[in-house]
Amino acid sequence: MLFLRGWLQDYIEEGLPSGEELADKLGLHSFEIESQKQLGDDFVIDIDILPNRAHDALSYLGMAMEVSTVFSLKFRMPEMPFEKSEYSSGDYITLDIEDPKLVRRATKKIIRDIKVDESPDWLRERLEAMGQRSINNIVDITNFVMYEFGQPLHAFDYDKLTKGKDGKVNIHIRGAKKGEKIKLLDGREMELEEGMLVISDDEKALDIAGVKGGTVSGIDENTKNIMVSVCNFEPSNIRRTSKVLGLRTDASMRFERDIAPELVPEALHRVCHLVKELVGGDISSDYLDIYPRPLNQYKLGVTLDRVNKILGTSIKGEEVEDIFRRLGFKYEKLIPVKNVLALAPNYIGVPYLYGASVRADAPRSFDCSSFASYLYAESGMAIPCTSIDQYIFGEKIKEEDLRSGDLVFSNSGSGNIWKETQEYMKGTKVPEGIDHIGIYMGDGQVIHATRYKNGVVMEDLKTSEQFKNIIGYCRIPSSDMERYVVTAPFYRLDLRIEEDLIEEIGRVYGYQNIKEEEPHSGHGPVVIHKEFYWINKIKDILVEAGFSEVHNYTFVDEGEVELENSLSVDKSFLRKDMLRGVNASLALGNLHAPIIGFEKIKVFEIGTVFDREGEHLELLASDSVSVILKENLGVDVGEGAINITKLLEKLPDPQNYSDLSKIDFGDNKFSNISPYPFILRDIALWVPKEVESLKVYKVIKENAGELLKKISLFDEFEKDERVSYGFRLVFQSQEKTLTDVEVNEIMDSITKELNRNDGWSVR
């Protein structure tokens, strides 16, 4: 995205550094700079915004906040006050949405008595610098605010909309009907598919939601009253619509990458301010706002030790706190388990709701697992959402070690009993089953959310009906260590795990300030791994004997050990032997032997096989290897499949790795393997006895061209002072399947050249 230095200056209280310094430092701490140049009296920087930061940085406000962080400058929000009239938007319009999952927030506001005209010079020049053509003052204001906030928005000519029986315009955000058509502002007509979102009145589609507006409600010089629309849409729906229609716009690009619903009213207020200031008009006192599922702000935490361990630094707490302040992050320092214990009693009496979401329903309602998840989330620790996942996630403890803040798990026998995990280490089994969780508060008390008492209660653990059958106790790892708990700003959708926080600390601190240090392993003397040594020793022996190693799938379509969650029907078992895989590799090798250049293909595989008794390592080769292994290892290995696990018991412990083969790659160069079949041709000829095969080889190679991939001597015998040589030629193309006609032409050319030599005669 293009950024003008002068435009960024509007949001910074102090003077900005030069354009070159802006680009250099942003490139060092934040983003990749595509280009930079002087533009008249201004300076423009083209910055590559990756998807993880598109939520906030694909806007002038987001980039200005980044500049304020990097240069330790004071950020300021633009002015947004405006004079309101007494009438309500609800006097003119109604609003409904068909699918709250696709339309996460929708607002509409009426502005009357405007005058459409040209935009002032400053607004027109800024848009043109962004590559955006100036249309008129209303459209330009909506585009300006989109670049400013990163929130797309649209203005409709209210008087072009169809009114209902009550005189109001009924606005619907719905799925398009099959075959529904709309003419866009650029003049193109689009036929829509079901599932694409449109904004419509009672009669017609007005806008392809999140992508582009239609001409039917476009702003023109006669427009007097407008409806401003600011919405937030589910990203994947907009991405699909944009791709299917071949329409990629500034709006769709932003929605595709996801933006925060909280931006919606901010952008709406800014539009109203600019309309009042630049256009005039009569602005309604309110706006219609449908926000089906507001989410709590995300909290995440990290310890100072973890920061320094990951970054390889010795950053002090004061430095971390300064970085958080520069980033505009609200934070607190706390010990999670103490915070959980302090918060928990405050929610006694809060209603029970099965399936309650930590971000959407808490703290207004809880179920047993979301109650624990919410308290730990508020304390900067993310734990799984379901009770059984929480049980597997936690550190198991004994009843006698139970202390305040630990989690208690039970099978009450009356709830939705889980016997395997749902998300965390999915499929992990807990045969006893779990359906309930509580937090131990000390003194024999447990706090939990229960459907049977319709809310959060504190009870005696020993007498609680829902903890009659306790399955186990867990402690959340590191919950007793002090940490920073950061409330992620609503516009920073990229901050979700502790590594995200560490990355923020690292880049603001400056990766160039992190000293290079040789890592210390902390290990003692090198331990020689017996299995590793002997497996590689066996491989060396077999490769030296002309074998090639192969690797085949462990998952097969039949066997003794069946997978519970197989990837596909033909991969639902673990192999009980390697015979089928080795035979398949041998057959494939023989098929390609001419192009490979091997007279005989020999393969082996070392891998794990599985039966009802367990698993073990096995060696299987296409030819007998018992003699060669006995000669080199000094032990009898037997015939057929060799049990490596048992063989290792007979072999001594190695002292070092020095006698294992070292790989010498030499000057080999990579060449693509052709996907096209090869063609074989044999040619035999008589030559005088004194002519060596190498001379014949050179003549053939020089006249065969680039399609000749291999040439080998397969036959030689003498008779009557002459010698016969037989050569096998392999032809193959990297670009197409060769025909017999093409190869025959090459062979004719070779034959003619050979026959030209004195005493040479192709047979």
The whole-number average pLDDT for the span 410-427 is 89
- CATH of the domain spanning 530-650: 3.30.930.10
Q: Could you read off the pLDDT of 454-492 as tens digits, one per residue?
A: 999 999 999 999 999 999 999 999 999 999 999 999 999
**Residue where the block lists tokens 């769709």:** 252
Tell me the H-state helices in 424-572: 498-509, 530-544
Report the alpha-carbon distance of residue 407 to residue 390 in Å, rounded.
9
Sequence ranges of the domains in the chain:
2-71, 89-290, 336-480, 530-650, 679-762
CATH class of segment(s) 89-290? alpha beta
Rounded alpha-carbon distances, angstroms, from residue 26 to 30, 50, 220: 5, 14, 40
Question: Which one has a higher pLDDT value, 660 or 543?
Answer: 543
Per-residue pLDDT band for 132 (boundaries 50, 70, 90) equals very high
The pTM score is 0.71
CA-based max dimension of the chain: 119
Give percent of the chain above pLDDT 90. Answer: 83
pLDDT exceeds cutoff 60 at 522: no
Q: Could you read off the pLDDT of 21-68 as tens digits, one per residue?
A: 999 999 999 999 999 999 999 999 999 999 999 999 999 999 999 999
Report the alpha-carbon distance of residue 621 to residue 603 in Å, rounded.
6
Q: Are 231 and 97 in contact (CB under 8 A)?
A: no
What CATH topology corresponds to 2-71? Phenylalanyl-tRNA Synthetase; Chain B, domain 1 (3.30.56)
The whole-number average pLDDT for the span 541-563 is 91
Question: Which one has a higher pLDDT value, 79 or 209?
Answer: 209
Per-residue pLDDT band for 515 (boundaries 50, 70, 90) equals confident
| Antiparallel, parallel or unpaired: β 42-48 and 154-157 | unpaired
pLDDT exceeds cutoff 90 at 451: yes
CATH class of segment(s) 679-762? alpha beta
| Antiparallel, parallel or unpaired: β 169-175 and 93-97 | parallel
Give, for 573, the enclosing helix (H) or strand (E): strand 573-574
The whole-number average pLDDT for the span 165-177 is 96
Report the alpha-carbon distance of residue 20 to residue 37 in Å, rounded.
9
Tell me the H-state helices in 84-208: 121-129, 137-149
What does the block give as tokens for 326? 């520069």
Determine the pLDDT at residue 305.
96
Average pLDDT, the chain: 93
Look at residue 349 and give its three-state secondary structure: coil
Determine the pLDDT at residue 619.
94
Backbone angles phi, psi at 717, to 5 degrees: -155, 155
Look at residue 299 and give its three-state secondary structure: strand
pLDDT exceeds cutoff 70 at 669: yes
DSSP letter string over 521-549?
Answer: ----SPPP-HHHHHHHHHHHHHHHTT-EE
CA atoms in the 13 A half-sphere facing the CB of 520: 3
What does the block give as tokens for 319? 């430095």
The whole-number average pLDDT for the span 501-525 is 82
The whole-number average pLDDT for the span 99-109 is 97
Report the alpha-carbon distance of residue 51 to residue 327 in Å, rounded.
19
Which superfamily is assigned to 336-480 in CATH? endopeptidase domain like (from Nostoc punctiforme) (3.90.1720.10)
Per-residue pLDDT band for 323 (boundaries 50, 70, 90) equals very high
Give percent of the chain above pLDDT 70. Answer: 98
Q: Could you read off the pLDDT of 241-259 as tens digits, one per residue?
A: 999 999 999 999 999 999 9
DSSP letter string over 190-214?
Answer: EE--TT-EEEE-SSSEEEETTTEEB
Q: Could you read off the pLDDT of 381-403 as tens digits, one per residue?
A: 999 999 999 999 999 999 999 99
Q: Could you read off the pLDDT of 58-68 as tens digits, one per residue?
A: 999 999 999 99
Determine the pLDDT at residue 327.
96
Determine the pLDDT at residue 77.
94
Determine the pLDDT at residue 519.
62
For 259-273, 461-475, 671-685, which range has the lowest pLDDT when averaged over its residues? 671-685
Burial of 469 (C-beta count, 10 Å sphere; 0-12/13-18/19+): middle
Q: Could you read off the pLDDT of 421-431 as tens digits, one per residue?
A: 999 988 889 99
Per-residue pLDDT band for 524 (boundaries 50, 70, 90) equals low
